[in-house]
Amino acid sequence: MIVEDGQEIVIRVRGLAKSFGSHQIWESLDLDVFRGEILAIVGGSGQGKSVLMRVITGLVEPDNGVVTLFGQEEQTLSAEARLEIEKRWGILFQDGALFSSLTVLQNIQVPMREHLNLPQSMMDDLAFLKLSMVGLRPEAAHKYPSELSGGMRKRAGLARALALDPEIVFLDEPTAGLDPIGASEFDHLIRKLQQTLGLTVYMVTHDLDTIFTVCDRVAVLADQKIVRTGSPAELQSKPDHPWIEEYFCGERARAASPAEERRVVS
Amino acid sequence: MLKRDNQFVLQTETEAPGFRVELRGTTFRLIASGAWTISEAAVLDEELKRLKVPIPPSSEFTGEMDISGIAEIDTSGAWLLQRTAGAWQRGGLKTRYAGATDSFRILIEEVHRRGQGELPEIDEVSPFQQFVETTKKSASSIWQDTIALTSFLGEVTVAAARAVREPWRFRPISFIHHLDYAGLRALPIIFLICFLIGAVVMQQGVVQLSYFGAEVMAVNMVAILSLREVGILLTSIMVAGRSGSAFTAEIGSMKMREEIDAMRTLGIDPMDTLVLPRVAALIVALPLLTFMGDIAALVGGGVMAWVMLGLDPPLYIDKLQEIVSFRHFMVGMIKAPFAAIIIALVGCLEGLRVQGSAESLGTHVTAAVVKAIFLVICIDGIFAMFLAGIGQ
């Protein structure tokens, strides 16, 4: 376990480098994720936001650098230790990535079935509880993913990510493709679940509304590294970087930011 | 998972999860300890189920869930506590929690609130009823398939007639592409299979007919059989497996990704762009492939005849010319375009029937191959009866 300034660091990334062919994505990327926070990763397209999530979750091998998860170096993990760590995180992929041949309830039970030996009745009840926690109606339990709308698929995917009560959830563009009302509901859902379950949330997002309403900290990917981290308000008041300035002080940001709103009112 | 205090514990060892029940004064207390998390849930569930709900001797007895000893809790732990508390409550014991931190309370309250609803039941059907249902369904699906295939044949005919009137509707590039894939590239495998079957039939024929001293008649058998039946059947089955399934998969995955809907909204008729070129390509390719299959079977038979009977190639060819007339060849060939239409229609129709999921794509590809082969064999039977009727 790594502790710094009285806060536990659950994910530590140091000196990460990755290139695809001749295209260098990062040269030396450093990032810390603290326990209990909601961290947003932002950056222009092609900066490797999703790739970073895939590197941390072990789906993509980095060229260089070290990823430390819960105090253990990812590259040196044995297969069993890795399995233990996989039980401690949940991942929501962009379109839910639900298994299309299983019903929603069965999808949520997949991690329980794989990792634990629970009686079926208990798995049913727990899965149903998770379903209700992410705000899906009980009728959705026996539906197949193809019968659900995009928003419902995301919620069902989140329920599957939460199946084992993980410590960290990774969210890949959780509000992309949702209407503003649905997106705002999803934001509140994330905040509520984070408080109820004591989660650490790592999300890749473009959505300024999400950043301003739920995120504790933002990490900005630009120039092949994390150029800055800080609270949304900090980044907005002191951008210090052309991309951050454009992103946090542009037209859309002014519409989304709570600080700007107050200024208009007063 | 929630830890008791937000202080991090450097030692991650926690007490083994468990509980004990005691009666103090007029209070039944369930004293829980350790980590109540999902990895321990199975054991806890087992033990909690064995726990009997205490029967209160009088109404002033109460229940208490003392969770001050719990170090870690998650949804499943909270759910187990809540289930027990609920059972006590229903048993007539007013039950409350003691020793919960703020974060524990939020979680327990949330679980309590969410756990109210009932899981909708799936209607259980008895196996017999299920059997009757599936039988009914498959029986009616035969009828529905017949109607669907007939109407699809009608649609394709209309589209073909339109393409004749307005030739610009026809897609020559797509036609050539499918001719290449379904025709030319199928040639090696069809040649090989027909060659081998021709050889095997010749070998078996020679062995069996030798009992009558009529080994040479095996040549008659192979020649007539290959030209009338084996060539066309083997070729059709191979093409159904190779191209029929490919048609379903290609069109089906386009259907899955809404590409076909996009085409329609752009004013492009999928009949013209997807179905017609495939049907036309198979109608051209299958007779050609059948011809090659016939030749391959005859060559295979010839090689075996040479080996087993010492019938050298010039003699074999002479013999063939004696036995085989043009009508035998035509009996086989006339079936090819019909088989082609069936394979292409079934392949395209099943592709268009694919729904959203990947599983549905798999089901329809399988259905396309099975139905196409079945129908090709049916058509072959009908032709056999018809040709026998007109004395061919």
Of B86, B114, B142, the one marking the end of a domain is B114
Contact A128 B119 (CB under 8 A): yes
- B9 vs A contacts (CB less than 8 Å): none
- B114 vs A contacts (CB less than 8 Å): 129, 132-133
The partner residue sitting opposite A165, judged by closest CB among B8, B76, B117, is B76
CA A158 to chain centre: 10
Domain containing residue B162:
154-389
Give how far A62 is from chain B: nearest CA, Å: 30
Of B114, B143, B167, the one marking the end of a domain is B114
Highest mean pLDDT among A186-200, B100-114, B303-317: B303-317
Bridge-based pairing of strands B2-3 and B62-73 is: antiparallel
Highest mean pLDDT among A79-83, B74-78, B313-317: B313-317
Contact B359 A197 (CB under 8 A): no
Best A121, A165, A189 residue to mutate vs chain B (most B CBs within 10 Å): A165
The partner residue sitting opposite A165, judged by closest CB among B1, B6, B120, is B1
The pLDDT of residue A260 is above 80: no
Contact A197 B1 (CB under 8 A): yes
User: pLDDT at position A264, please?
Assistant: 46
Write out pLDDT tens, residues B255-290: 988 898 898 888 888 998 999 999 999 999 999 999
Query: Is B388 or B53 the better-scoring residue by pLDDT?
Result: B388
User: pLDDT at position A259, please?
Assistant: 58
pLDDT interval class at A212 (50, 70, 90): confident
- If you average pLDDT over every residue of chain B, what do you get? 88
User: Is A37 an interface residue toward B (CB < 8 Å)?
Assistant: no
Write out pLDDT tens, residues B169-221: 888 999 999 999 999 999 999 999 999 999 999 999 999 999 998 888 999 99
- Tell me, yes or no, whether B146 lies in a domain: no
Q: Which two three-digit tokens encode residue A226?
A: 């994390």
Lowest mean pLDDT among A95-104, B292-301, B319-328: A95-104
Of B63, B83, B114, the one marking the end of a domain is B114
User: pLDDT at position B9, please?
Assistant: 46
CA B75/CA A198 separation, integer angstroms: 11
CA A109/CA A159 separation, integer angstroms: 10
The ipTM is 0.80
CA A67/CA A79 separation, integer angstroms: 16
Residues 6+ apart with CB under 8 A from A136: A104, A152, A155, A156, A159
**Same domain? B240 vs B355:** yes
For residue B204, give the H/E element and its range: helix B187-209
- A148 vs B contacts (CB less than 8 Å): none
Chain A residue whose CA is closest to B116: A129
CA B283/CA B337 separation, integer angstroms: 5
Q: How many residues does chain A have?
A: 266
Chain A to chain B Cβ contacts (< 8 Å): 92
Give how far A70 is from chain B: nearest CA, Å: 12
Q: How many CA atoms lie within 13 A of A164 on its CB side?
A: 23
CA A70/CA A89 separation, integer angstroms: 11
Give how far B163 is from chain A: nearest CA, Å: 36
Provide the whole-model pTM.
0.70
- Tell me, yes or no, whether B382 lies in a domain: yes
- A128 vs B contacts (CB less than 8 Å): 117, 119
Give how far A163 is from chain B: nearest CA, Å: 9
Q: Where do the domains of chain A lie?
A: 99-152
Write out pLDDT tens, residues B62-73: 888 888 888 888
- Per the structure, how many domains does chain B have? 2
pLDDT interval class at B14 (50, 70, 90): low
- Tell me, yes or no, whether B30 lies in a domain: yes
Q: What is the CATH number of the domain that holds B37?
A: 3.30.750.24
Best A102, A196, A199 residue to mutate vs chain B (most B CBs within 10 Å): A196
- A3 vs B contacts (CB less than 8 Å): 8
- Tell me, yes or no, whether B145 lies in a domain: no
- Tell me, yes or no, whether B284 lies in a domain: yes
Secondary structure of residue B139 in the 3-state scheme: helix
